[in-house]
Amino acid sequence: MRQTIHRLMLLACVLVAGCASNPAPQFAGDKVSLKQASEDNVSLGIKYLQAGKRDVAMQKIQKAIQQDPDNADAYMGQALIYGAMGDADRADDAYHTAMRKAPDDPGIQNNYAVFLCQHNKAAESEKYFLKAADNPTYSTPDAAYTNAGLCAAMVPDPASAEKFFRKAIDINPSFPEPLYQMASLSYKQKKYLQGRAFMERFNIVTPQPRADALLLAVEIERALGNQSGAAEIAKQLVKQFPASPEAQQLKGGAHGGNPG
């Protein structure tokens, strides 16, 4: 559960990371310059939030709101900070303000849906994920569908999860996350050959190995009776990620003993 929520958070942060550009200094007090200054302060606020400096991040976001009270991104930044602080009520209020300022912004809808899912409101979150995904102006509908699938998997609702992951893959066959999630879902449903096929596709589009994916590949190969193949992947996992929880599981024998 914790790992799935972390993935949702990552997908949300990716969508606001574009705000974190290097701000240009502003000297004029005209409306256009204030709007730009507001956007620059949002960028700085997001950078500080990503660095764990929540107080400074909030100062920048509040300054952004003062400079442009209609800047929806500023309220979304405020919501992200409140969410990081564990203040769900204020985060929810800030998201609603952002959506009032920009009712058709798919990025805000996706991030609000992530917030709802993290707070066990899966049914409500699905509505916002699909709003974002169906918006023709949205550049990453595959991420919204993947998020919807992750949230459905947490319910758990595997049928809905599979539907959303497959939609994400149809839109972007090179997006690794839904491929990994389909491999995991297939394994849990004992569709091991299908799981292997999705792992193979995942490996093609993922230049760097992941500990969780390697462990899943070990599990799939063992389920298929391919003990030698599983052992080779297990060795790779322990060698490349020796301190990872996945490697510790293998070393401790939780998944079939020491890979040697």
SS (H, E, C) the chain: CHHHHHHHHHHHHHHHHHHCCCCCCCCCCCHHHHHHHHHHHHHHHHHHHHCCCHHHHHHHHHHHHHHCCCCHHHHHHHHHHHHHHCCHHHHHHHHHHHHHHCCCCHHHHHHHHHHHHHCCCHHHHHHHHHHHHHCCCCCCHHHHHHHHHHHHHHCCCHHHHHHHHHHHHHHCCCCHHHHHHHHHHHHHCCCHHHHHHHHHHHHHHCCCCCHHHHHHHHHHHHHCCCHHHHHHHHHHHHHHCCCCHHHHHHHCCCCCCCCC
- Give the pLDDT score at 162: 98
Segment 46-68 shows an average pLDDT of 95
Q: State the pLDDT at residue 30.
A: 61
| pLDDT value at residue 31 | 62
Residue 71 in any domain: the answer is yes
What local confidence, expressed as pLDDT, does residue 231 receive?
96
For residue 18, being part of any structural domain is answered with yes
Residue 1 burial (C-beta neighbours within 10 Å; 0-12, 13-18, 19+):
exposed
What tokens appear for 197 in the block? 């096929």
The predicted model scores a pTM of 0.81
Query: If we measure between CA atoms, which residue out of 135, 48, 45, 57 comes closest to residue 99?
Result: 135
Residue 80 lies in a domain: yes
For the chain, give the percent of residues with pLDDT over 90: 80
pLDDT at 219 over 90: yes
Dump pLDDT digits (tens) for 66-98. Answer: 999 999 999 999 999 999 999 999 999 999 999
Whether 169 has a pLDDT exceeding 70, the answer reads: yes
Q: Does 143 map to a domain? A: no
Please report which confidence band the pLDDT of residue 32 belongs to, taking 50, 70 and 90 as the band edges: low
User: Does the residue 72 lie in any domain?
Assistant: yes
Domain coverage including residue 53: 1-103
Does residue 16 belong to any structural domain of this protein? yes
Q: Identify whether 86 is part of a domain.
A: yes
Q: How far apart are CA 118 and CA 99, in angstroms?
A: 19
Spatial contact of 215 and 236, defined as CB atoms under 8 Å apart: no
221 contacts 195 by C-beta, under 8 angstroms: no
Categorize the per-residue pLDDT at 252 as very low, low, confident or very high, splitting at 50, 70 and 90.
confident
* Total domains in the fold of the chain: 1
The answer as to whether 10 is a domain residue is: yes
pLDDT tens digit sequence for 149-168: 999 998 999 999 999 999 99
Residue type at 53?
K
Residue 122 tokens read as: 């899966």
pLDDT of 108 strictly over 80: yes
Structure tokens, 75 = 């309220």
In 3D space, the residue among 26, 48, 49 whose CA is nearest the CA of residue 38 turns out to be 26
CATH number at residue 14: 1.25.40.10
